[in-house]
A and B are shown apart, each in its own frame.
Chain A
Amino acid sequence: MDVMPKWADVILIPLISILLAAILSAFLLLSMGQNPWDAIVMMVEGSFGSSYSWGYTLYYTTNFIFTGLAVSVAFHARLFNIGGEGQAVLGGLGVALACLYVPWPHWTVAVLGSATAAALFGAAWAFIPAILQAKRGSHIVITTIMFNFIAAGLLNYLLNGPIKVPGSMELATAKFPEPTHLPTFEELFSFGETSLFRAAPANVTFFIAIAACFAVWWLIWHTRLGYEIRSLGHSETAAKYAGISPTKIIMVAMLISGALAGMMAINNVQGEAERLVLDNVAGAGFIGIAVALMGRNHPFGILLAALLFGFLYQGGGEIALWMSIPSEMIEVIQALIILFTGALDQLVRMPLERLFLSLRRAKT
Chain B
Amino acid sequence: MDFATLLQMLDATLRLATPLLLACLAGLYSERAGIFDIGLEGKMLAAAFLSAAIAAVTGNVWFGLLAGIGASMVLSAVHGLASITFRGNQLISGVAINFLAAGLTVVIAQSWFAQGGRTPQLTGDARFNPIDLPFAEALQNVPVIGPIYYELISGHTILVYVALLMVPLTWWILFRTRFGLRLRAVGENPAAVDTAGVSVIWLRFAAVGICGILCGIAGAYLATALQAGFVKDMSAGRGFIALAALIFAKWRPWYALYACLLFGFLQAMSLRPDVIERVLSFQVNGQFLDVLPYILTVVILAGFVGKAIPPRAGGEPYVKER
Greatest chain B CB density within 10 A among A330, A331, A350 is at A331
A residues contacting B by CB (< 8 A) are 28, 32-33, 80, 82, 128, 132, 136, 138-139, 141-143, 145-147, 149-150, 152-154, 156-157, 160, 286, 289, 293, 324-326, 328-336, 338-339, 342-347, 350
Is there a chain A Cβ closer than 8 Å to B240's Cβ?
Answer: yes
A153 touches B102 (CB 8 A): no
A289 touches B107 (CB 8 A): no
Contacts of B89 in A (CB 8 A): 80, 342-343
Contacts of B82 in A (CB 8 A): 339, 343-344
Contacts of B87 in A (CB 8 A): 346
Is there a chain A Cβ closer than 8 Å to B164's Cβ?
Answer: no
Q: 8 A–B contact pairs at CB < 8 A?
A: A132-B301, A136-B301, A146-B297, A324-B110, A328-B104, A338-B96, A342-B88, A346-B87
Contacts of B76 in A (CB 8 A): none
A345 touches B88 (CB 8 A): yes
Contacts of B95 in A (CB 8 A): 82, 286, 289, 338, 342
Binds A, one of B12-20, B58-66, B153-161, B285-293: B285-293
A335 touches B287 (CB 8 A): no
A339 touches B100 (CB 8 A): yes
Contacts of B191 in A (CB 8 A): none
Contacts of B107 in A (CB 8 A): 28, 32, 325-326, 328-329, 332
Closest 3 CB pairs of A and B: A331-B103, A343-B93, A335-B99
A138 touches B88 (CB 8 A): no
Is there a chain A Cβ closer than 8 Å to B303's Cβ?
Answer: yes
B residues contacting A by CB (< 8 A) are 36, 38, 78, 81-83, 86-93, 95-100, 102-104, 106-107, 110-111, 117, 232, 237, 240, 243-244, 247, 285, 287-288, 290-291, 294-295, 297-298, 301-303, 308, 310, 315
Measured in the bound complex, the distance between the Cα atoms of B87 and A324 in whole Å is: 38
B287 touches A334 (CB 8 A): no
Measured in the bound complex, the distance between the Cα atoms of B103 and A329 in whole Å is: 6
> Chain A's interface: helix, strand, loop or mixed, by majority?
helix
Given A138-B302, A344-B82, A346-B88, A335 and B294 touching (CB < 8 A)? no
Measured in the bound complex, the distance between the Cα atoms of B95 and A82 in whole Å is: 9
Contacts of B291 in A (CB 8 A): 149-150, 152-154
Contacts of A326 in B (CB 8 A): 106-107, 110, 117
Q: How far is the CB of A270 from chain B (nearest CB, A)?
A: 25
A343 touches B103 (CB 8 A): no
Contacts of B310 in A (CB 8 A): 139
B91 touches A82 (CB 8 A): yes
Greatest chain B CB density within 10 A among A289, A329, A332 is at A332
Contacts of B96 in A (CB 8 A): 335-336, 338-339, 342-343
A142 touches B100 (CB 8 A): no
- In addition to A328-B102, A333-B103, A338-B99, 15 A-B residue pairs with Cβ atoms within 8 Å of each other are A136-B301, A138-B308, A143-B298, A143-B301, A145-B243, A146-B240, A150-B298, A289-B95, A328-B103, A328-B104, A338-B96, A342-B88, A343-B82, A345-B88, A346-B86
A343 touches B247 (CB 8 A): no
Residue of A nearest to B86 (CB): A346
Q: How far is the CB of B20 from chain A (nearest CB, A)?
A: 14
Contacts of B290 in A (CB 8 A): 153
A344 touches B287 (CB 8 A): no
